[in-house]
Structure 1
Amino acid sequence: MTMSDDWTKRATNILRELHAAETELIGRGVILTDGKAGTVDHVFLDEVHGLRISIGGHDGRWPISTVKLLTRT
């Protein structure tokens, strides 16, 4: 395996996991540790913080680690 193949495999795995997170989270209700609540609109990959989410009705993006409760669909 060449260095290029190794890099491509890692990038593909990251994108696969991002897609899985989008599938699991978008449209689900959440409550964050700061009390904000709503439905997940988007999932973002932040190169510094990892996964972030945006919530309908609230401006901003929050680290996935701030989710206190995720409702079932």
Structure 2
Amino acid sequence: MTAVKLLASTILNALGDVQSALVGKAVVLTDGKAGTVSNVWLDELHGMRISIDGHDGKWPISTIKFEQDTQKPWPTAPGQC
């Protein structure tokens, strides 16, 4: 594999890893916007960017201040809430 193909493959693998890690997670951005990550893009000018449900636009992943899974764990025993 040529060096260019290897580099491209590394970048696309990183994009896939970030998509798996962020899509569906609740996030808060540094500007106060909050919501669930709906998609991740690779932008040739800005790097990786995210879109958030309920907000128009795309933001750099570097603006994520806090992230959390949106799925809540269910109680393991009856009566626990």
TM (norm. structure 1) is 0.91
Q: Which residue of 2 aligns with 1:21?
A: 18
Name the CA distance, whole Å, in 1 between partners of 2:62 and 2:5: 27
Q: CA RMSD in A?
A: 1.2
Encode CA deviations 1:17-49: one digit per residue, 9 max, x unaligned: 000000000000000011100000000001111
- CA distance in 2 between counterparts of 1:67 and 1:24 reads 13
Equivalent of 2:7 in 4, 7, 10 = 10
Distance 2:5 2:62 in 1: 27
The code of the aligned residue for 2:52 comes to I
Query: Which structure dedicates a bigger proportion of its chain to helix?
Result: 1
For these two proteins, the number of residue pairs brought into alignment is: 70
Q: Distance in 1 between matches of 2:18 and 2:35?
A: 17
Mark the runs of 5 or more structure 1 residues left unpaired by the alignment.
none
Match of 1:33 in 2: 30
> SS at the partner of 1:18?
helix
Q: Which structure 1 residue ranges, 4+ long, deviate > 3 Å from structure 2? A: none
Pair 1:52-2:49 in alignment: yes
TM-score (norm 2): 0.82
